Chains A and B, each alone.
Chain A
Amino acid sequence: GDSVTQMEGPVTLSEEAFLTINCTYTATGYPSLFWYVQYPGEGLQLLLKATKADDKGSNKGFEATYRKETTSFHLEKGSVQVSDSAVYFCALSDPNAGNQFYFGTGTSLTVIP
């Protein structure tokens, strides 16, 4: 079945450091891939997405590239800010499964000044 595996946390970085959060997936079809972010006390917000192989999703300085050959969708940001502190979830939507969403376990990021 479909699944998402993402890097265990928590991750603590200094401001302006480079961020990578790894995500790999297993899917029966050709899924769309997403990164969602959850701030304390809030629901999940879509950060970026990619719908086909080699697509790059980007938003607010974050980027992730859909790599079919390695079944990966790693999240990167060149210079993190304190305001980026949150929990990040990698997810997939599989059209072979009625576009049901599968989420990873989440990676908590804390950015210190």
Chain B
Amino acid sequence: DAGVTQSPTHLIKTRGQQVTLRCSPKSGHDTVSWYQQALGQGPQFIFQYYEEEERQRGNFPDRFSGHQFPNYSSELNVNALLLGDSALYLCASSLYGGRSNEKLFFGSGTQLSVL
């Protein structure tokens, strides 16, 4: 049973470019959340998707957007990249609703470097 898979594992972009990161949730999960983990920091919540809609959003600008597909996989898009967007981007999957939201399973992340 595959866990949460993310691609690519590493990415290098330049300022102003756009990037798309991808995530496939753990089998049986229907909710995907994205987190940004800067070097030496804890993960910061970006947003959560369920039933192809953004359900919650953290304190991130509109440059960060996402999408969820009917098969529950998800994409994170970041436009107009800034140097400060360099971080490890983590995808987490879970089952939606109530306490079941607590069981977060994380992927290994995509390391984004903006030059």
Contacts and interface: CB of A to CB of B under 8 A. Distances in A.
Interface of A: 4, 32, 34, 36, 41-46, 49, 51, 89, 91, 93, 95, 98-106
A46 B104 contact: yes
A105 B48 CA distance: 21
Contact of A32 (B44, B45, B102, B108): B102
B43 A103 contact: yes
Given A42-B108, A43-B109, A105 B40 contact: yes
A100 B45 contact: yes
Prevailing SS type, chain B contact patch: mixed
Contacts of A32: 99, 102
A43 to B, nearest CB: 4
Contacts of A89: 42-43
B78 interface: no
B102 A43 contact: no
A51 B44 CA distance: 21
Interface of B: 4, 33, 35, 40-45, 48, 55-56, 58, 90, 92, 98-99, 101-109
A51 B40 contact: no
Contacts of B107: 43
Q: Which of B4, B56, B106 has the most CB of A within 10 A?
A: B106
Contacts of A106: 40-42
A49 B4 contact: no
Contacts of B104: 44, 46, 101
B109 A49 contact: no
Given A32-B99, A100-B58, A105-B40, A44 B106 contact: yes
A42 B58 CA distance: 23
A45 B45 CA distance: 16
Given A89-B42, A105-B41, A106-B42, A99 B106 contact: no
B42 A98 contact: no
Contacts of A42: 108
A104 B41 CA distance: 8
A93 B90 contact: no
A104 to B, nearest CB: 5
- The winner among A4, A95, A103 for most chain B CB atoms within 10 A is A103
